[in-house]
Amino acid sequence: MDSIFSNTKEAFSLKTNFQLHRAKFLFKIIENKFLVRLGTTFTNFSLKFRLPVTSLIKFSVFNHFCGGISEKDCEPVIFKMYKKNVHSVLDFSTEAFNSEEQFDDCYKKKISIINFIAFRSEIPFAVFKPTCLGRIDLFKKVSSNDQLSFLENEEWNRVVKRFQGVCQKAFENNIKILIDAEETFVQNAIDDLAFKMMLIYNKKTPIVYNTIQMYRWDRLDYMKDLLKTKGIVFGFKLVRGAYMEKEREYANLMNIKSPICLDKSSTDLNFDKGLDFIFNNIDKISLVCGSHNEHSTLKIMKKMSELGISKNDEKVWFGQLYGMSDNITFNLAKMGYNVFKILPFGPVRNLMPYLIRRAEENSSVKGQTGRELQLIITEINRRKQKNYK
């Protein structure tokens, strides 16, 4: 496992011994599917019946994967990482929202975050999850081209207004904005909105970045189709995709072809093809690669070098989630590449779906947890040696 990303001294330079041991403990639990299921049930039960578990969650899994409860809470982490050339992207947790009042609050929050990050070079992007601005069933209806009632039409207009409001605010502050991708059944509506925003705001520089999930076998054609549009530049956040199991279950339930590639190697191949396509059109596309995969990261580094793109060219960014793959993030940063951590923050209760997804994803993705754990143990052992520096 020796690679340019195996320097654990660099990877964990910001972690105290205590934090490393906590990480080891967490990933040991996450490795075990049964314990993850048990922990999830226990946590959901405790939160539902308001048992006093938030301090325990905050002290353990929350502090490992999240920056804090407020933007201010996140500042120490943001500054520490920035000293190591690692940027932050603040991601306010919004997963459990489902009323108009909550969508409005979420919209206001996204606007206030853009105000917070304006003129901060430590935070190069803003980010939002589209269904935090409107009802998921409405996104679903619009995605399937279903007829909307008069009231639904009004409701959708409000969603569009919030969506454009966030992009407009980002544009006014010259902040690039990442639009997260979600389940396929809501994605057509998101893609249409993202494309409309690109037509308005990406005339000269990429302000709006849409996310492309390469575990979907149809996404390469989607990108090729988009590129036929002249007069704008594109921002793409390339990811593999986070909803594989849900997508497969949904396709089974609806008796439709699954939108997901048949297996992991087909997804990997598709991801590579996506990268090839982007670098073949790098004059028109700016890339954010959201991945913890070493092969994908190395492939981008190689492409950049072949095409003479400098390491810190604004056109290419790498992103990892806070609490994961520090070996990739901190070693990339040390080499001078543009790299950020997604730093989730918000009330513990709101962040639970995110944390549970991290745990489930890690226990279902073969190899990821093992990799994290191995690196943590290597660093713990390195520090045990006498006179370590």
Ligand X SMILES: Cc1cc2nc3c(=O)[nH]c(=O)nc-3n(C[C@H](O)[C@H](O)[C@H](O)COP(=O)(O)OP(=O)(O)OC[C@H]3O[C@@H](n4cnc5c(N)ncnc54)[C@H](O)[C@@H]3O)c2cc1C
**Residue in 97, 185, 243, 277 binding ligand X, rule: CB under 6 A:** 243
Nearer to ligand X, 181 or 287 (CB): 181
- Over the window 127 to 166, marking each residue x when it contacts ligand X by CB under 6 A and - when it does not, the resulting string is ----------------------------------------
372 binds ligand X (CB under 6 A): no
332 binds ligand X (CB under 6 A): no
**Residue in 365, 374, 377, 378 binding ligand X, rule: CB under 6 A:** 365
Nearer to ligand X, 35 or 365 (CB): 365
Cβ-closest position to ligand X: 290
Nearer to ligand X, 56 or 251 (CB): 251
Q: Among the residues of 202-313, which ranges form H helices?
A: 219-226, 244-254, 264-280, 294-306
SS3 content of the chain, % helix, strand, coil (to 5): 55, 10, 30
Nearer to ligand X, 87 or 169 (CB): 87
d(Cα 355, Cα 51) in Å, to the nearest integer?
18
d(Cα 198, Cα 25) in Å, to the nearest integer?
44
329 binds ligand X (CB under 6 A): no
Q: What is the phi/psi pair of residue 278, to 5°?
A: -65, -45
- Over the window 255 to 274, marking each residue x when it contacts ligand X by CB under 6 A and - when it does not, the resulting string is -----xx-xx--x-------
d(Cα 366, Cα 265) in Å, to the nearest integer?
12
- Give ∠ CA 360-365-371 in degrees, rounded to 5: 110
Quick check: helix, strand or coil at residue 254?
Answer: helix
102 binds ligand X (CB under 6 A): no
**Residue in 180, 191, 247, 372 binding ligand X, rule: CB under 6 A:** 180
- Strand intervals (E) in 93-160: 125-128
The first and second tokens of residue 83, run together, are 């000293």
Which positions touch ligand X (CB under 6 A)? 180-181, 211, 213, 215, 239-244, 260-261, 263-264, 267, 290-293, 319-321, 342, 365, 368
